Amino acid sequence: MLHATARILNYCVALASFAAIAVCTLYIANSAAQSGKESQPQAGTGANSSNASPIYGVTIPSGYRDWKLIAVKQLLIPGIADQLRAQVGNDIAIKALREGTMPFPDGAIIAALHWTRVLSDNDSKVIAGQFPGAQSFVIGSAVNVQFMVKDSRKYATTGGWGFADFTNGKPGDKKLHEACFPCHGPAKVHDFVFTHYAATP
């Protein structure tokens, strides 16, 4: 139960990307995913339905781990989630974020990478030698990855965004994906995307 809760949490509170409008008229996208006949796969290649997210039919885009960095976040929900997070984007998404182009143009994809956050005793010790009380937190293990894929026509009923949540390469279930768009409503002013491009230090 905790795991399920955490997974929904992971998605719902993505606060790293994503968009949507309401859980309605999803049949078309869902149908496309089921048939595996997407004429223009939004991400990944040669996907079949088992590799695509329910409702949206989004597959894992190849090479996303190497996309450019948008920003970093931390999520803490005592007893449920303790994560370090990074949001990255493909070139279309990065260009839009830098130039402030809203809504995002078609083809933009944002990925949210989530890991557990753990205290590094070794790193903390090094720092604490000079600064008592210092705590350095690092990435523990991978939790999940989420995607927002912009296609204003295909995903017209969900703000132009298709969503996907993968754990160990497998998409979450339909119920999980039904929660995506409503959760992103509060970010409507930023085209349903929570994350903002971090200033260059």
CB 91 within 8 A of CB 176: no
Which of 26, 75 has the CB closer to its own copies?
A: 75
Shortest reach from residue 200's CB to its own copies, in Å: 5
Which of 12, 28 has the CB closer to its own copies?
A: 12
Which of 14, 47 has the CB closer to its own copies?
A: 14
Q: How many angstroms separate the CA atoms of 36 and 39, rounded?
A: 9
From 86, 94, 185, 90, select the one nearest 143 (Cα to Cα).
Answer: 86
CB 61 within 8 A of CB 1: no
Q: What's the N-to-C CA distance of the chain in angstroms?
A: 41
Residues near its own copies (CB under 8 A) are 8-9, 12-13, 15, 65-66, 68-69, 71-78, 80-81, 84-86, 88, 94, 113-115, 117, 120, 122-123, 125-127, 130-131, 133-139, 141-145, 166-167, 183, 186, 194, 196, 198-201
Q: How many angstroms separate the CA atoms of 178 and 200, rounded?
A: 35
Shortest reach from residue 184's CB to its own copies, in Å: 9
Shortest reach from residue 67's CB to its own copies, in Å: 8
Which of 115, 178 has the CB closer to its own copies?
A: 115
CB 108 within 8 A of CB 101: no
